[in-house]
Structure formats: structure tokens, C-alpha cells
Amino acid sequence: MPVPGATWHTQVGLAYRAMASPCSEPDAARFLPTTPAEVHARGWDQVDVVFVTGDAYIDHPSFAMALLGRVLEAAGFRVAVLSQPQWQDASAFRLFGRPRLCFAVSAGNMDSMINHYTANKKRRNDDAYSPGGRIGLRPDRATNVYVQRCREAFKDVPVVAGGVEASLRRIAHFDYWSETVRPSILVTSKADLVGFGMGERVLVEICRRLDAGDKIVDCRDLRGVAYLLGSKEELPEHCWRDASCDNRTVALPSFEQVKADPRAFAEATRLLHHETNPQNGRRMTQRHGDRTLVVNPPALALDERAMDRIYDLPYTRRPHPRYREQIPAHTMIKDSVTTMRGCFGGCTFCSITMHQGRAIQSRSEDSILREVRQMAQDPAFKGHISDVGGPTANMYRMRCSRPEIEARCRRLSCVHPTVCKLLGTDHGPTKRLLQKVRATPGVKSVRVASGIRMDLARFDDGYLEEMAAHHVGGQLKVAPEHSSRKVLDLMKKPAIDTFDEFADKFAAASRRAGKEQYLVPYFIASHPGSGVAEMIELAVFLKQRGYRPRQVQDFIPAPMDIATCMYHTGLDPMTMRPVETVKKLKDREVQRALMQYFKPENWFTVRKALLEAGRKDLIGDGPLALIPKNPPKEALQSRRRGANAGRRRR
């Protein structure tokens, strides 16, 4: 049970020191309980928290149910994991009986709609977070369904929703899959609270208060919490004195306003994104009919000590032994090491900043090396670390050099339109860490697969030398995303010249290392602001540099992103200037075809786009030509197959 009066840090630290160190055998007793038999084997007569998740249970710190479950366990609470339950009725949600404190609900590591559907709204053929990659083991809009089933199972038990899906739907938001503006997930799910952002601290504090006899409404003063006031409740007075927050409340346009008026939606987006710095973010409200949504200031960033205690907990790093099939997400991540969280890039199409925060939260070198040594002692470990990093591998330990300025700053990106002069960009800690990781006995190779930020890496040639010599397995992922200056500005990405400069430096470093290595650049099609002309510009850029993307990233409007606002409203919410958007499926297909102009089956689509754009000069045999004058045999065959398929459908 929790230690009375102990702080969150102390509770986690005391419990960790009392736990046995991990061993190599994956026995069920070393995992959080997933069945009543496993609960009883621990001698428990009741669990405190039932953690409901849409993912398979993998006891690895890269997975939310493991990380949050272990943190709750370390704080003294009895936690059971209800993983991918049958949701058609409430039976599965009664598996562990009535939880003493609450249900904690998450759709999983991904938004369930993005997990289920492609950018073209077609059902995906696999689910990386399920055993065997099988689909159909979680519902659409899983948070809503799970919360409702928890309510049906035990009406008087508090339900707290969290995770990416709930976090990014905490206010009224545009939903790409229904092409509508939907209300806050608190309205549709009927959860008592939503814990947004990374939820360790807030979830432990909620459980601590409930354990002390408080009611769930008594937790409404916590940072990182959103809730709905009853129709007759008044907005409470709270004061967050733990930062430079001025304690005022910002009123967003109402759900009814943002649903009816694109400009109101854009205004709500602008206000929201300017309140994301936990050191100065203010409470927000948004009316939903006769009720008021309240979004408290974000949780404060975790310091190094707190990060260490979270990642030092005794994870087995394995799927629960109940699974007989491989889980693709575990296969990919099992030999990786997380060094930090957060991102100050502020890319408008990315949700990382909105969920993990803008401040970089780093583990200590000692904590990371302890994890590496434990991995190396595992008989199943083959000696190859697949990744050392986080959302961006080379942001480790990077922070604003002026904390007093950082506390007041409302800038959405520390690196756009230029790298802030106050940003600490020293790669020294990253280089020293990588050197020590690869020197650990039992470690044969160390890769950096999570991608690096080019506009930061170019400041340190020594970092590129280290990467090229030791940490690139033949290919290095980077994300220029586009070549058009207009589109890149809308993305909050650096000019394409940055990529060219980086590519030259990386090639030179690889030559000095005596290695043949290549960049794998990622580009996005159909992003707001990207029309046919911009995609032709990108195609020419790719042709000139010899890149042939095998896969195309197609823009998906995720809830609450700035780029999603552009897609829905046709406005840049930061300037209110019009932005052209591509919405029709056939137009999105043209953009994908232009990025893969070299594929014979795309010849007719590319030719039509070039002619309509007045770019006949790009057809023929010239050095810059994208396609030949005459269709290749494969293009004719592809067209014939398409025509035959159309006749069969009729």
C-alpha cells in the first residue's frame, strides 16, 4: 500500500528498492496480473486499479500500460491489466471484480482510428500492437467504448481516460474519419477525468487521493487534467503557484461555434497551442451546450531524477507469456533504449509536442547505462541495440539556456523559422552517451534508428563523424518532408537547403569512415499548402538527387494538430491566411504518383498532371524529364488491369 505522506518521488523510490532485479525467465509472476488467477497468486483479494488498454500487454517502458502500471505498482498500488478485452458487452470488464479505486483507460500507444485506417480511409491489414499483427482486437474509437463498458460493469467506480487518443481529443476537434467536428472525448466517453499528456504523475496523484478517501471530483485541481462541469456547477477557483502561470482562464470558442464556423475553429486552435508550455500555460474552458469543458494547465516536465525512477523500474522487456505469437511492435522496439521524451520542433503535422510536451526530459547517463547492462546480461539479447534515442535522437539533454526566459516563452518551435539563439544545441552529452553504450561488455553494435534533426546535427561535425563511423546500419533516416519553401514554412520545417548541406556532410563523414551509407529521406504528400505545382517541384528535386521513395507518407489529419486545422478550415490558425488543401481521393492519388513518378504504373497519372500544369518540358528524354514521351509497357498493362477491374465491379 502507499506510504502515508510520502511524495510521488519517495513512493516510487522506496518501492523500486524493495523489488527484485529482472531475470531472464518470462514467468507470469514477474508481470502485472492479467487474470484473476494471477491476482490471487499474489495474495490479493482485490485490485486497486484496472488498467484497460487496446494494446497487447508488453512489459517494456515503450508501452504505456507497462510504464504506467509499473509506476502505480511502485507507488504501492495493486494494478491489473485488462488487455484488448472483448468489448461487445461489459462481461470482460468485470473480470477482476470491482476495482477499489478506479479504472484507467487507454486506447493504446496510438489513436485507434489511425491504428485502423490509412490516409485513404481504407482498413489496414495489420495491427502492430496485437499478437500476430491481427486486426479486430480493439474497437474504433476505443477510449469511448472502453469507458462506457467500465461504466456498465461498475457504475460507481471512477473512470480516468488517458493516452494519445484521449489526450489529443480533449477539446472539440476535427475528426478526419467522419469529416466532422466532434465534441471533447469527455462528452462522448463520459469519463470522469481525462489525464492528458504523459500521465505518470497525475495518475499516481489521482490514486493517492482516492486512496485517502477523496472523491474523483476532488482531483479536478490537478495539472494535466481535463473534466466537464455539470450544467449547474460553477467554475472552481484554483491557483497553480508551482510555475509562472498567471492563473487566468482562457475561454475557447464553444463547441457549437467551432463546429459551425471555420474561423472560430482556427481561433480555438491558435489559443490552444499557445497554452502548451506548462510553465506559463493557463487553464482553458470551452462550452459544450449547457456544460463547460475545463482543461487545466499541462503537467510540469519531469526532471532527471523522476525520469530515472520511471525507467529504472523492473520491466521484463517482454510480452506477457500468455501470447504465443510475436507482436510486431515488440519485435521492432525490444532492443531499443529510450533516452528522452518531448520535442521542441513543433512540426505542425506532428502530435508529439502536444502529447509529450515541448521541454526535453532526459534520463541520466547512469540510468541509461544500467538498462544497457541489464540488456547485455539477458541470454536472449544478441548484442545489437536497435535504437538509442526518443522522438528525436539528437535532442538528448538539449534545453533553453535561459530558464527564466523559457518560463515565459510561448514560441511554438525552438528551431523554426530559425534555431533560437537561446537553445542549447550541444551534442556532447549525446556523443559521450553513445560512446559508453557501445563500450558496454556484451554490446556488439549500437544503432540510432529514431531519426535525427538535421538542422541541429549540422552544428556538430563530430556528432556526424560518430554517427557515420559507429551508429548507422547503412541507412540513416531523416525527414526533410518537402522541397517547397511555402509548404515547409507551413510545416514549421527548415528550408530544403538544410537537407542538402546535411547530406553532403554525412556523405563526407561516411567516406572518411570507409563506409558506403545512404540517407533515407521522408517526404509527405497532400500536406496543406502542397498542390500539384509543389509536388512537381518535389518530384524534380528527387530526380536531381537520385532519390526514389519506395513508400509515400500521405498526410493524415490527426486531432488537434495545426496542420489538421489547415486541412479542415483552409486557414493557417497562426496567421488566419488562406491555405490550399487537397481533400479529394483522386487529387491525393495524383500527389502520391508525382512523388513516385518513376513507377511505370504511374505514367498516365503523372503525364496528365504535368500537362495540366504546363510542364510538358518534364516529359521526354532530357536529363530532368520525369517520364518518357511514350508510355512504358508496364503502364499500359496497369491501365488495362484497372479497366478490367472496373468492368467487373459494374
pLDDT tens for each residue of 495-529: 999 999 999 999 999 999 999 999 999 999 999 99
C-alpha–C-alpha distance, residues 52 and 147, integer Å: 9
Phi (first) and psi of residue 384, to 5 degrees:
-115, 115
C-alpha–C-alpha distance, residues 478 and 483, integer Å: 14
Q: What is the pLDDT of residue 21?
A: 35
Q: What is the pLDDT of residue 451?
A: 82
C-alpha–C-alpha distance, residues 277 and 300, integer Å: 9
Q: How many CA atoms lie within 13 A of 289 on its CB side?
A: 9
Phi (first) and psi of residue 578, to 5 degrees:
-65, 145
Mean pLDDT by 10 residues, the chain (650 residues): 43 37 59 97 96 98 96 98 97 98 97 96 96 97 98 97 96 97 98 95 97 97 96 86 71 98 98 94 96 96 96 96 96 96 95 89 98 96 96 95 93 94 96 98 95 91 96 92 97 95 95 94 96 97 93 94 98 97 94 96 96 96 92 86 59
Written as nine digits, the cell of 490 is 507551413
Q: Which CATH architecture has domain 335-583?
A: 2-Layer Sandwich (3.30)
194-222 burial code (b ≥16 CB/10 A, e <16): bbbbbbbbbbbbbbbbbbeeeebeebbeb
Written as nine digits, the cell of 499 is 537537407
Q: Max Cα separation, the chain?
A: 79
CA-CA-CA-CA torsion sign (270, 276, 277, 283): positive
C-alpha–C-alpha distance, residues 277 and 411, integer Å: 9
Specify the DSSP class assigned to residue 514.
Answer: T
Q: Which of 553, 458, 473, 482 is nearest to 517 (CA)?
A: 473
DSSP H or E run through 640:
helix 633-649
C-alpha–C-alpha distance, residues 490 and 481, integer Å: 11
Q: Hey, where are the domains in the chain?
A: 8-19+28-233+283-295, 335-583, 597-650
If phi > 0 it is left, if psi is from -120 to 50 it is alpha, else beta; for residue 217 that is alpha
Q: How many CA atoms lie within 13 A of 377 on its CB side?
A: 12
